[in-house]
Amino acid sequence: VISEKGSGRYGYDASNRLCWQIVDKTQQLHRLYYRGNKLANEWLTPEGQAQDAAKDNRVRLVYAGGSNIAQINQDGSTSTTSLIGTDAKNSVIAAQVEGKNQQYQYTPYGYRTDVSAGDSVAEASEENRDE
């Protein structure tokens, strides 16, 4: 996929779920793992390198009652946990990251302009971000 903002490559599994993506902006391979129909883990590796738990970034999403309630980010041996608040469509609308509260708003098309590196993997309606 190519646009004026960059390009990306995507792979899908036999159930037509996104299972990997590479976005030119980061040049990282995002491997996506599911539990049922819910995204459970994401493993980020620099493109062209093998998976290495000591060097790669990993994200685990925690669910309760069908909603994403927490996200655990691991960067090598460092781990941070974010508490997540979602709306009725499971879009992330609030998070508490390292004791700081953050609130999020989306356009009618699910786009959010105030994205930073520590934000949640799951975005509007649990879609993965192309960054």
pLDDT in tens, 62-103: 999 888 899 999 988 889 998 988 888 878 888 888 888 888
Q: How is the chain classified by DSSP, letter by letter?
A: -EETTEEEEEEE-TTS-EEEEEETTTTEEEEEEEETTEEEEEEEEETTS---TTTSEEEEEEEETTEEEEEEEEETTEEEEEEEEE-TT--EEEEEETTEEEE----TTS--S---TTS-SB-GGGPBP--
Confidence of residue 125 (pLDDT cuts 50, 70, 90): very low
Per-residue pLDDT, 11: 94
pLDDT at 58: 93
pTM of the model: 0.75
Confidence band, pLDDT 50/70/90 cuts, at residue 124: very low
